[in-house]
Structure 1
Amino acid sequence: MRVCFVAATEEELLLMWSVYEELREGGAETLFVRAGGGSRLDEMANTIGARFDMSVQTGDAPSCAAAILERLPKTLEEFKPHWVVVHGADGYGVAGAMAAYYASFPVAHIGSGLRFGRSLEKTGKEACRRACETLSTVLFAPTQRACSNLLSENRPARAVHTTGSTLTNSLIRLKHTNSISGSTNRIRQRLFGGGDTPSVILLIEHRDTLRDVLDGLVSAEKLLRGVRIVVVSQDKEFDDRGMEVTVCDGSRVIDVLLAAGRGVVVTDVGWVVEAAAVFGLGVVLVAEATDRPEAVEAGWAVLSGLEGRRVARAVVMMLRRWVAPRTQPFDGDNAAAHVAAILVQNRH
């Protein structure tokens, strides 16, 4: 069997990597296509040991999407995959799904049915996912709620499969292979001091949001005495707002989470909610809604909203009461094997 994977973001890479490994171990031929993405995608690939067979990366976003639509069908004609696996967190993923669809190769959508609910945050990310799902023959839902979302939108029941989270499965595999590595211990010593000091890890993509969160933490500085604050940022002009913080390269997200040991992650990045749960960390999600509500319901995460002081209050409360719940919010143990088996059974 031949399977092509198309990834443009860190989230997409993590959703696909465990399935890619599972299929390769079973003897399948694979083609991994990088469709856009920046340096953080490269670093994530290096972290998990993934290798891209082809890269489509030209200029700005519209130019890159156009290049995917132009170049990918020719590649697919040569490779002749039984499946093209996509997620579609952005326009690059949609372009990949469209390229496969118009070239008459069946599309499999991984991480299907993730929804923000009745929220103003139903913006580009969810629209792109829905577009890719519409172009797909099979839909792999990571949770029962995601499956219910798809069925409520009149997706064909025969196309929807509840498999567990392949992203969580990728992170579990990574945790097992890297938990005792020397590099993890070195990062732990440098960022966290190697002790049992509680930490707050700021992993925030948007510069304005990071500034507001830091301003909020300044207002709660007395309540955060003795807490180590680590900022994971790629912004070379990062402003610490007068706080005593440790700054880490923003491309080392997984390494930092692996090394943290004990603490709370403050983030506006959806997939980090899953990662934090795998590594035993609580999450303050800087948002009004989440496409992973299971983490909130299971006690792994809280929604703080966007205002800095509200975020700071949520951080203080989480640090005071945090005990990792016994139940993981996302079942990922056998997700990749489940997806791989369905792809094999239904290959065209």
Structure 2
Amino acid sequence: MPQILTVLGARPQFIKASPVSHAIAKAGMSEVIVHTGQHFDALMSDVFFDELAIPRPAYNLEVNSLGHGAMTGRMLEKLEAAMLAEKPDLVLIYGDTNSTVAGALAAAKLHIPVAHIEAGLRSFNRRMPEEINRVLADHVSTLLFCPTRTAVQNLAAEGITRGVHAVGDVMFDTTLAAIERSAGRSAILERLALTPKTYSVATIHRAENTDDPARLAQIVDWLEQRARTAPIIMPVHPRTRKLFAQRGISPAGLTLIDPIGYLDMARLVHHAAAVFTDSGGLQKEAYFHRVPCVTLRDETEWVETVDAGWNRLWQGPDFAERRDIPDYGEGNAAHLISELIAGTLK
């Protein structure tokens, strides 16, 4: 039986792993999950394994709260030990975090094939650590699972054409299931006394926004202006809340809440009038819920959402005319990925 070692570390990766882990098991392959510990708070980590029925991690490396170099280095060391112990046939990585690049490099140095889900995304901003992680992970991967045709084109422009597959977006798989499940299991609207389509949802967590005091103040001011016309609910990342406290920031008109589970977030976004975020994953989720999004960054790797009029940059042009995005698939990306992995490992 082929064995896959999956590296997870951050909230979006747990969400993406849910349909893929289920598809891997259904295809008769075994999976060992390694949690790097990058997101270690129960509300940023444990709750997703419970709500999405993801197999519990066999390893928790407990690497967190460090700088990029120290975090990636310690993950590399501990992931190498786990890979040597488990001897997997393939290492599966997701997205663009430090956990992603550490998993990719550890496997590549041990000559273990790497499969990258969400391969080929590019913001073309090398100042973002996520962009460096994406590029490095793609260039050592054997199987590259692209969510869009643009991602395939990006890889071709860098000379990567072997092992590249356009499979659609696994987040679409997860979102379709979450919309149905959250309707019966989430009471977030009732708890916050919210009426559908009368409020917006905001999140801020990227270092490019939070680590620059002037930029963070500018974004908060932008959100405060929008909160004058409609309530804004903001689940606050622990690191962002800490920076707010250190800098004396108390956003006027925003309802700040602790991080919430995926089903609560799915229901909150599904019934929102708009989403304001610097999260790559939430930009797409907003589209899947058919909610307009404003991205609090100077560029986005999800250019399709901008072209299709469901997303725009906060300091850029207004929304384009809206249309559907066929690239993201039909909600069966996880099945296609498991089939391709199984075929490779025969």
In 2: Cα distance, 1:101 partner to 1:327 partner: 34
In 2: Cα distance, 1:83 partner to 1:37 partner: 22
Unaligned ranges ≥5, structure 1: none
**More displaced 10-residue stretch of structure 1: 2-11 or 136-145:** 2-11
**More displaced 10-residue stretch of structure 1: 330-339 or 208-217:** 208-217
2:106 is aligned to: 99
Post-superposition Cα deviations, 1:127-147, rounded to whole Å, max 9, x if no partner, equal 111111111111111101101
1:319-334 matches, cutoff 5 A? 325=323, 327=325, 330-334=328-332
2:22 is aligned to: 21
In 2: Cα distance, 1:137 partner to 1:175 partner: 33
1:41 is aligned to: 45
Matched, 1:213 2:206: no
Matched, 1:259 2:268: yes
In 2: Cα distance, 1:253 partner to 1:21 partner: 17
* Residue aligned with 2:45, SS: helix
1:92-241 matches, cutoff 5 A? 92-117=99-124, 120=125, 123-155=128-160, 157-181=161-185, 184=186, 186-191=187-192, 193-205=193-205, 206-207=209-210, 208=213, 209=215, 211-219=217-225, 224=229, 227-233=230-236, 234=238, 235=241, 237=245, 239-241=249-251
Going from structure 1 to structure 2, the CA distance change for 1:267 and 1:253 (only over 3 Å counts) comes to farther
Structure 1 residue 99: Cα displacement: 1.4
* Residue aligned with 2:309, SS: coil
Matched, 1:80 2:87: yes
Equivalent position amino acid for 2:111 in 1: S
Matched, 1:286 2:274: no
Post-superposition Cα deviations, 1:63-117, rounded to whole Å, max 9, x if no partner, equal 4433333332332233222210113523332221121122221111111000114
Contact 2:179/2:266 (<8 A) preserved: no
Contact 1:197/1:228 (<8 A) preserved: no
Contact 1:214/1:240 (<8 A) preserved: no
Contact 1:258/1:279 (<8 A) preserved: no
In 1: Cα distance, 2:107 partner to 2:17 partner: 17
1:248 is aligned to: 257
* Residue aligned with 2:162, SS: helix
Structure 1 residue 341: Cα displacement: 0.4
TM-score by length of 1: 0.83
Equivalent position amino acid for 1:124 in 2: P
* Residue aligned with 1:171, SS: helix
Pick one of 337, 340, 343 that aligns with 1:342: 340
Contact 2:149/2:327 (<8 A) preserved: no
Going from structure 1 to structure 2, the CA distance change for 1:70 and 1:218 (only over 3 Å counts) comes to closer
Structure 1 residue 203: Cα displacement: 1.1
Structure 1 residue 324: Cα displacement: 7.7
In 1: Cα distance, 2:114 partner to 2:107 partner: 7
Structure 1 residue 124: Cα displacement: 1.5
Contact 1:277/1:328 (<8 A) preserved: no
In 1: Cα distance, 2:149 partner to 2:28 partner: 30
**Alignment RMSD, CA only?**
2.7
TM-score by length of 2: 0.84
**More displaced 10-residue stretch of structure 1: 335-344 or 27-36:** 27-36
In 1: Cα distance, 2:334 partner to 2:18 partner: 9
